[in-house]
């Protein structure tokens, strides 16, 4: 089954590129940029990857990204993950990135965008990997700042597939960012939002009604609201569920008790992703294998999940058709 899952053409809709920073690359970039880390070794960094909640993770996450300073750093970060993902059978990634987290450190938006866009070009030309671009905004920072950054990013609007909403969910409801998503929509840019991970089910409803998003990142707490769950089923709103992330951040105690099987039983449109693979136990393949071991899912379930992801991916139609055909051939092998 592991060999099958590696060969399966997989699509990832929920990946934070800053969360793909492996400790080895963190040390390499720190040395390049003359930055002193709080950790003496790679093993010491890995030992810190035990979190009590989302905020505990975010504290380390933002500290780690401090090594990212130049366009070369962002290029190396992204391409490192793209190569790793492609070796595990990933064929498309919708990539979140957080410009505010870099701007507040004094890193110019041009450095971030130049490095990430060059890595995207390299991946699409040489790795047989397509990449969607999601500019995510931090919900625990002022909406006024988000609006300013969105306007600053105007030269790149044509390169964005969507904007997103991420970071600490508790007490930061989606409705606060209604003006941002409306401005993006007026610019022809779609929206996605993290909701229903640590925040309540109502945050999912807010993301749909107030932000008009096309998909929900996480969304696992929807089951707490029967009417919302039925709405998600009827409208086939995709939920980008991140199983190993949910375990690491204590959204669930163990994978075997994850609501994923219940979400599928309810007829919801589900995909699985890795979220922040360097911190949460591995990439998309690791999440597939873990779900097989925890739930006993067989080939047909994983085919359906990846078909869902391909149908919802930010991808041109020719590439979508090509990858759907590949997926079908794998199913019929």
pLDDT higher than 90, residue 4: yes
* Spatial separation of the C-alpha atoms in residues 100 and 167, rounded to whole Å: 11
Q: Which of 30-39, 41-50, 78-87 has the highest mean pLDDT?
A: 78-87
15 token code pair = 């990946």
DSSP label of 164: E
| Distance between start and end Cα atoms, the chain | 14
Q: What does the pLDDT read at residue 42? A: 85
Of 331 and 209, the one with more pLDDT: 209
pTM: 0.95
Minimum mean pLDDT among 17-21, 54-58, 141-145: which range? 54-58
CB 45 within 8 A of CB 39: yes
DSSP for 253-279? SSGGG-SHHHHHHTT-EEEE--BSTTT
CB 213 within 8 A of CB 203: no
* Residues designated catalytic: 197
pLDDT higher than 70, residue 116: yes
Q: What does the pLDDT read at residue 317? A: 98
pLDDT higher than 90, residue 55: no
Average pLDDT over residues 47-65: 77
SS3 for 89-149 is CEEEEEEEECHHHHHCCCCCHHHHHHHHHHHHHHHHHHCCCEEEEEEEEECCCCHHHHHHH
Q: What does the pLDDT read at residue 46? A: 80
Of 126 and 249, the one with more pLDDT: 126
pLDDT band, residue 333 (cuts 50/70/90): low
Model confidence pLDDT, tens digit, residues 84-111: 999 999 999 999 999 999 999 999 999 9
pLDDT higher than 90, residue 281: no
Q: What does the pLDDT read at residue 23? A: 87
Given CATH 3.20.20.140, say whether it is the number of domain 2-331. Answer: yes
**For the chain, which residues make up each domain, given as ranges?**
2-331
pLDDT higher than 90, residue 145: yes
How many percent of the chain have pLDDT more than 90? Answer: 86
Q: What does the pLDDT read at residue 61? A: 79
* Spatial separation of the C-alpha atoms in residues 143 and 147, rounded to whole Å: 6
Average pLDDT over residues 163-189: 97
* Spatial separation of the C-alpha atoms in residues 200 and 224, rounded to whole Å: 8
Q: What does the pLDDT read at residue 40? A: 85
Q: 76 to each of 26, 80, 108, 135, 210, how far by Cα in Å?
A: 11, 6, 17, 19, 37
Nearest to 302 by CA among 87, 2, 3, 5: 5
Average pLDDT over residues 271-282: 94
Of 294 and 249, the one with more pLDDT: 294
Average pLDDT over residues 224-232: 98
Q: What does the pLDDT read at residue 331? A: 72
How many percent of the chain have pLDDT more than 70? Answer: 99
Average pLDDT over residues 47-64: 76
- At residue 242, the 3 state secondary structure works out as coil
């Amino acid at each position: 089954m592991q060999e099958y899952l590696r060969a399966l053409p997989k699509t990832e809709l929920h990946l934070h590129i800053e969360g793909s920073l492996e400790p080895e690359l963190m040390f390499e970039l720190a040395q390049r940029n003359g930055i002193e880390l709080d950790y003496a070794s790679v093993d010491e960094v890995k030992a810190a990857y035990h979190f009590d909640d989302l905020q505990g993770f975010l504290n380390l996450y933002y500290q780690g990204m401090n090594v990212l300073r130049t366009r070369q750093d962002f290029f190396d970060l992204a391409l490192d993950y793209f190569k790793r993902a492609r070796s595990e059978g990933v064929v498309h990634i919708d990539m979140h990135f957080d410009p505010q987290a870099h701007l507040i450190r004094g890193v110019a938006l041009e450095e971030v965008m130049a490095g990430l866009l060059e890595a995207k070009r390299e991946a699409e030309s040489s790795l047989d990997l397509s990449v969607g671009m999601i500019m995510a905004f931090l919900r625990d920072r002022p909406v006024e700042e988000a609006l300013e950054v969105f306007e600053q990013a105007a030269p790149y609007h044509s390169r964005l597939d969507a904007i997103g909403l991420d970071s600490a969910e508790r007490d930061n409801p989606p409705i606060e960012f209604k003006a941002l998503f409306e401005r993006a929509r007026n610019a022809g840019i779609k929206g996605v939002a993290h909701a229903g991970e640590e925040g309540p089910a109502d945050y999912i409803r807010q993301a749909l009604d107030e932000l008009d998003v096309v998909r929900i990142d996480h969304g696992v707490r929807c089951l707490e609201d029967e009417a919302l769950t039925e709405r998600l089923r009827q409208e086939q709103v995709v939920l980008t569920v991140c199983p190993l992330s949910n375990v690491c951040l204590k959204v669930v105690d163990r994978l075997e008790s994850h609501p994923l099987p219940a979400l599928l039983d309810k007829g919801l449109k589900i995909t699985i992703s890795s979220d922040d693979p360097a911190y949460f136990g591995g990439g998309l393949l690791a999440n597939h294998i873990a779900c097989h071991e925890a739930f006993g899912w067989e080939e047909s379930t994983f085919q359906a999940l990846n078909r869902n992801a391909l149908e919802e991916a930010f991808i041109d139609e020719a590439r979508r058709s090509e990858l759907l055909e590949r997926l079908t051939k794998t199913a019929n092998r």
